[in-house]
Homo-oligomer: A and B are copies of this chain.
């Protein structure tokens, strides 16, 4: 008989590994705040952190993973608010209200971190869909569209509108945040 743990938690990270993860994140953040996304090359991050490039990749898999990690804290707040926060975002609200609250909150988040989001979504082709957080939003939107014809497809529709590249394009094209917001809300209403 095999010896399968029912839930095998991933083996704890070694101490040096954890230290390096922190070093890399701090270095990346420093580079980003001083030079913008332009400055966020993997070589530069590794050098600034004083570690080898391989270490960066071992800890964060690829560049989108690294950038996503930079955004993680902020994103966690939003996720938490949705799972267990107060209405209208949290689980006590009505579905339509929760959908509206979600897109508003998410657009605020996009507004605050547009360039990092673009970087994390376009680092590799299809990177966006691989991000764990994408699954999270998809699942929750699917639930909030439970009444629709194909709830999962509706979830994808909304996420497609919240794509950072698209929004950056609209912004560059002169669209106001208000107009974008109104459009997305429309999609989610009813």
- Enumerate chain A interface residues (CB-CB to B < 8 A): 118, 122, 125-126, 128-129, 149-150, 153, 156-157, 160-161, 163, 165-166, 168-170, 179-180, 182-183, 186-187
User: What are the 10 A-B residue pairs with the smallest beta carbon separation, nearest first?
Assistant: A153-B183, A160-B160, A122-B125, A129-B169, A150-B183, A126-B165, A160-B161, A160-B166, A149-B186, A126-B169
Q: How far is the CA of A161 from the CA of B165 in the complex (A)?
A: 14
Q: Give complex CA distance A102, B179 in Å.
A: 26
Which among B156, B165, B186 is the interface contact of A150 at CB below 8 angstroms? B186
**Residue in B closest to A128 when the chains form the complex, CB atoms:** B165
Write 30 A-B pairs (CB below 8 A) sorted by A numbering.
A118-B125, A122-B122, A122-B125, A122-B126, A125-B165, A126-B165, A126-B168, A126-B169, A129-B165, A129-B166, A129-B169, A150-B179, A150-B182, A150-B183, A150-B186, A153-B179, A153-B180, A153-B182, A153-B186, A156-B161, A156-B166, A156-B170, A156-B183, A157-B157, A157-B160, A157-B187, A160-B161, A160-B163, A160-B166, A163-B163
A116 CB to closest chain B CB (Å) equals 13
A183-B157 contact, Cβ under 8 Å, with A118-B125, A122-B125, A125-B122: yes
Secondary structure at the A interface, as helix, strand, loop or mixed, is helix
Chain B residue nearest to A165 (CB atoms) is: B126
List residues of chain B with CB within 8 A of the CB of A170: 156
- The residue of chain B having its C-beta at the shortest distance from the C-beta of A124 within the complex is B122
Please indicate the chain B residues that have their CB under 8 angstroms from the CB of A156 in the complex: 161, 166, 170, 183
Taking a contact as CB atoms closer than 8 A, the residue among B161, B165, B168, B179 that contacts A157 in the complex is: B161
CB distance from A127 to the nearest CB of B (A): 10
Q: Which of A118, A156, A180 has the most CB of B within 10 A?
A: A156
Kindly state the separation between the CA atoms of A120 and B168 in the bound complex, as whole angstroms: 19
